[in-house]
Amino acid sequence: ASPPTMAWQTYNMQTKASGAIVKDGQSIDVPSSDQYVLTLVVEDLNSGVKDVTLNGNVQYVCQQGGQVEDKKFPLETQETKPTPDQENNVPIRASLVYAVEFGKMGCKENWIFGGGKLSLVGKAHNFVGGAEMRTLHVNLKK
């Protein structure tokens, strides 16, 4: 069984620039002042999309004066299981979205976001047992 096709779509809310990443393990740079929307898009025209999951982890630092606080935590897993329609046609597309906006959150008041790294892992299955996985690394710039 051939696996579903997967791609990441990137969209910068400030500059309105968008892009697509199809290779596994790619990295993109995101300034902490910008809000990015990352969409994992899965498609399988032949066998349909059975399920898609998106998870990962983030690590970053917060700084104040000479103090540095390390933060590291897993992301909440997102999952979608599209269901066949009334005519029992299997869904051929599915997507999950993750919004990146770390500059505005994550650090205590009066602390400065010092940059970090976000890793997203998307997994998908089709209805004939095909599986695919894609990883995206986001460098969070301070």
Q: Which pLDDT value is given to residue 104?
A: 61
Number of Cβ within 10 Å of residue 29's Cβ equals 10
Q: What is the pLDDT of residue 84?
A: 85
Mean pLDDT, residues 105-117 taken together: 87
Token pair 């606080």: residue: 69
Judged against a pLDDT cut of 90, whether residue 40 lies above it is answered with: yes
Distances in Å between the alpha carbon of 72 and those of 6, 44, 60, 76?
27, 34, 7, 13
How far, in Å, are 10, 42, 113, 117, 137 from residue 18 at the CA level?
5, 18, 25, 20, 17
- The Cα–Cα gap between 130 and 121 comes to 17
pLDDT of 105 above 90:
no
Please write the tens of the pLDDT for every residue from 43-69: 999 999 999 999 999 999 999 999 999
Instruction: Report, as an integer, the average pLDDT of 66-74.
Output: 94
